[in-house]
Structure 1
Amino acid sequence: MTALPDDSWLLRIQPQPERITAEEYDALPEDICRAIEIVDGYVVYCAAPSPEHQTAARRLANLIELGAKSAMASGHGCLTVNTDVDLRLRDVPLLNRRPDIVLYRCLDRERGERLRAEHALLIIEIVSSGSETQDTTDKFGEYAKAGIEHYWIVRLDRTGVAVIERYRLDRASMLYKHIETFMKDQPGDLPSVHNPIPITVDWSDLEI
């Protein structure tokens, strides 16, 4: 069994001779889990997002949550929106990501249910200078293979959210296919979507 790290471990990550199991990950302190992801059993250190990134994620999550509340009032079922939360994509070898934003079906916390791919309805990743490959290639493929229906890639400018790229899973190929791209500077009415829930994108609410 791999020895669990102490708090100083994040400052001295070395090549890892052994993979971390799901059980070992679950035993880690929350402050360590918030700073890492696990890919094929190996630790990937996640740099803290910029204040602009955090603000954009919070405001976009608020927008998604408004849509979720309306959907629940219309009989959609219990929905939850969270930012920077553990998402278990696979147990062996362990694949655990922390998406910027997740819309998912409510979990049964009393039974200890954890957030897994089958609960997730929409994943949103906000691209930063160091996450282009992860968000547009690595996670793009992982989320699709896990069967998550909807994926948005979001890009920022100096004033906030500027671009939203929408993708939907093609079940035949288990790959994402581009649906449309919303751009803040594009003329016309505010963009809206109907899947996985109705959401209207008000760019003014997404300024930072």
Structure 2
Amino acid sequence: MTALPDDSWFHRLRPQPSPVTAEEYEALPEEICRAIEIVDGYVVYCEAPSPDHQTAARRLANLIEREAKAAMGRGRGCLTVNTDVDLRLRDVPLLNRRPDVVLYRCLDRERGERLRAKHALLVVEIVSPGSETQDTTDKFGEYAKAGVEHYWIVRLDGTGVSVIERYRLDHASTLYKHIETFMKDEPADRPAVANPIPIAIDWSELEF
């Protein structure tokens, strides 16, 4: 598990007699926020990602960011790509996740705007040993209920990203519908998507 600093805030959260509020979370030091998520007001400690996981997230973010800049050049509006950033899904009870990669509309920095589900165009989670249930069940439902339009579940093999599962929100049911699955080993042209922005998947860029 990720080691947390010996901080008074940490001791106030554990064993946590009551749910954490949005105000309490926002007062936490950044080094603690980076090591936790909040689910229904309760702290979930995040394991430090493996080097392969971190590499995959960084390379996916780079690929998506390049396509986002191209989309902005075509008049798509201001877009941002980030890794391991706070995404507020709900204020009460507090639900705060830290996606591996997220593509979102630029925030108003002067107003101190917080990243929320309404800003997110695409959320990507990379499945690691031990995160299967969270990524394919818990977060799958949370992101959909919060209204995140597009969700990718990414799987790795020993050489890099090997599978990308694409889901899109069905607004009538507030559930994700599977669109397609890209597999690195399939003999096909470079896969591409049109939404939320045009993205061409170059598997060679996603190798370790």
Name the TM tier (shorter chain).
over 0.9
Do the aligned residues in 1 keep the contact of 2:150 with 2:168 (CA within 8 Å)?
yes
Kindly report which structure 2 residues correspond to 1:95-114, keeping only aligned pairs within 5 A, or say none: 95-114=95-114
Q: How many residues align?
A: 204
Per the normalisation by structure 2, the TM-score is 0.95
Distance 1:84 1:105 in 2: 16
Distance 1:99 1:8 in 2: 26
Do the aligned residues in 1 keep the contact of 2:9 with 2:28 (CA within 8 Å)?
no
Any idea what SS the aligned residue of 2:168 has? strand
* CA deviations over 1:48-107 (Å, ceiling 9, x no partner): 100000000000000000110010000000000000000000000000000000000000
Residue in structure 2 matched with residue 84 of structure 1 by the alignment: 84
Distance 1:132 1:42 in 2: 20
What percentage of aligned pairs have identical amino acids?
82
Do the aligned residues in 2 keep the contact of 1:120 with 1:148 (CA within 8 Å)?
yes
* CA deviations over 1:138-184 (Å, ceiling 9, x no partner): 00000000000000000000000000000000010000000000000
Distance 1:152 1:89 in 2: 17
Runs in 1 of length 4+ with deviation above 6 angstroms? none
Distance 1:131 1:12 in 2: 27
Query: Structure 2 unaligned runs (5+)?
Result: none
Per the normalisation by structure 1, the TM-score is 0.95
Distance 1:100 1:170 in 2: 23
Residue in structure 2 matched with residue 57 of structure 1 by the alignment: 57
Residue in structure 1 matched with residue 125 of structure 2 by the alignment: 125
Any idea what SS the aligned residue of 1:130 has? coil
* Superposed CA RMSD: 1.6
Do the aligned residues in 2 keep the contact of 1:10 with 1:45 (CA within 8 Å)?
no
Kindly report which structure 2 residues correspond to 1:120-199, keeping only aligned pairs within 5 A, or say none: 120-199=120-199
Distance 1:136 1:142 in 2: 10
Residue 7 of structure 1, CA deviation: 2.6
